Structure formats: C-alpha cells, structure tokens
Amino acid sequence: MIRKLIEEDRNNVLDFLSHEPSINLFIIGDVEAFGFEETFQTLWGQFSDDGQLEGVLLKFYESYIPYFTKPTFDINDFMKIILNHNGTAIISGKESLLKKFDACLPEHTRKSTYFCELTHQDQLINLENMDLVKKAEDKDAERIYKFIETIEEFNSASNSVDRIKHTIKTGTGRIFYMENDIGEMVSVAQTSAENSQSAMIVGVATLKEYRGKGFMHMCLTKLCADVMSEGKTLCLFYDNPQAGKIYHKLGFETIDNWMMLTIGES
C-alpha cells in the first residue's frame, strides 16, 4: 500500500531513513526543515501488508528522491507518481536503487558520480597552523560570494550573498576559509544541506596560484572535525579522481555512486 505521509508519520519516517543518514541527507533535511504540509514538497510511503514502512519517495519541486532497502522492492507505485509529473522531472539517489528506474523509464538522460562518506576522525590529523583556518560568520558572506565568483569551476548563479548569509545563520551549512598575508581569501570549504544527522561537503576551492600548498587540506580537515564534533556524518559527491584522492586521504570511503536521471527535457 502507498499513501501520502503526514506529520504523524515523522518519527517512523526518520527512523527508517536513519539506517543510511548520508544517503538520505536530502530527505532527512527536507523533512526536518519543511515537514509534510508544504505545497512544494510531498512525501509518500510504501507499506507492507502488516503496516511496516518499506520505502519513501520525496518530491521537492521538480526533484524526486526514492529510498528503500529491500532488493525485491516493487517500484511500480513510485514510477506512476513520477511519470505523472508535468514537465521535466529529476530523479536522484543511490545508484544501486536508481538502476531499477533507469531500466524502465521512457527516454531520459543519466549522470553518475562517486558518493563518499566520512564516519570517523581517525585520519583527521591536527595539522600545523590550523588556527589560520577561520570559520565564516554571516558578515563574511559578501567576501565569500566574491571569492566563489573568481573560481572558474563554480557556477555562482546558484549562489548569492543573501543565500550564503541564510545558510550560515540557519545552520544548514558552515564555511571555513583561509587568507593570504594581506587578508585576501584564497581557499574555502563548505557544507550544505546540514540536518541533525549528516552534512554534505560542497564548494571546495582554492585560487589557482595557491593550489598545491595544503590550504584545501587544512580547510577540509577543520571543517570535517567541526561537523563531526556534533556527532554528524559527512558525505560528498565527486567525479574528479584527483579530488577523490584528497577526500580519501581524510578518511572518506566510497559507499555507492549517486545517480541522476532526467526525464521530459525539451
């Protein structure tokens, strides 16, 4: 049986998702932030005959994230909901789960990236000069935005000074940075989509002329230690093998791939 989830389902849903808090970072975060009554967000639960929750599907605007644990899970009801979407729809999630959708969707595109998780601090070595790594406050938002605009690999269209301020103030993300001798920002590491159980590493960058000097490693080390001191796990996506080496050196382990399927593109 499938039905829309309501506020009374909150504890049951979060318990179910907490089996893989990093994989379910986005669903957990959206439940904690927006609940079950918003017009732009809907959650469905699929239940066994004896009333046990077996799968959850999140719709957040045009994005869908399915999650289930049993290899024999029947995705037909989830598929019907997704295919009823008007316009472009994006389905994302753990690749081993999304392969079921990939095999039976109509014409669509796919993208896959590595998905890593950090659950322990064993390899977070306390480096020298770590006091040079600073934690950003909302007053630093404009500087951070201007720094991000200088990084070719970043798309600053998804950022703004107000959005950065909001992220810092609400605790849905945190930012650590380093400066050069004259106070210019040269390296940044950030989290996003933070919830009570996990956080996503995003926006890791260093100015070209300062790369290879260990600044990124220091920012990441201090950021990871700060997040994990609160009992949270960390996760991230990457598709660049060179970046992957840095993350694995810190103790991140690849737990799956993250797949994104897009249907209805014009």
Note down pLDDT in tens along the chain; length 266 residues.
999 999 999 999 999 999 999 999 999 999 999 999 999 999 999 999 999 999 999 999 999 999 999 999 999 999 999 999 999 999 999 999 999 999 999 999 999 999 999 998 888 887 777 889 999 999 999 999 999 998 877 655 567 899 899 999 988 999 999 999 999 999 999 999 999 999 999 989 999 999 999 899 999 999 999 999 999 999 999 988 888 888 999 999 999 999 999 998 75
- How far apart (Å, rounded) are the C-alpha atoms in residues 147 and 159? 11
Q: Where are the alpha helices (DSSP H) in the chain?
A: 10-17, 25-34, 76-83, 95-102, 141-149, 161-170, 215-228, 241-249
Say what the pLDDT of residue 156 is: 53
Say what the pLDDT of residue 155 is: 58
Say what the pLDDT of residue 146 is: 93
Is 2-113+258-263's fold the same as 121-250's? Answer: yes
Burial tier of 144 (Cβ tally within 10 Å: 0-12, 13-18, 19+) = buried
Say what the pLDDT of residue 246 is: 87
Say what the pLDDT of residue 80 is: 96
- State the pTM of this model: 0.86
Tokens of 14: 């979060």
User: Is the CATH number 3.40.630.30 carried by domain 121-250?
Assistant: yes
Query: What ranges do the domains of the chain cover?
Result: 2-113+258-263, 121-250
Q: 2-113+258-263 is classed in which CATH architecture? A: 3-Layer(aba) Sandwich (3.40)
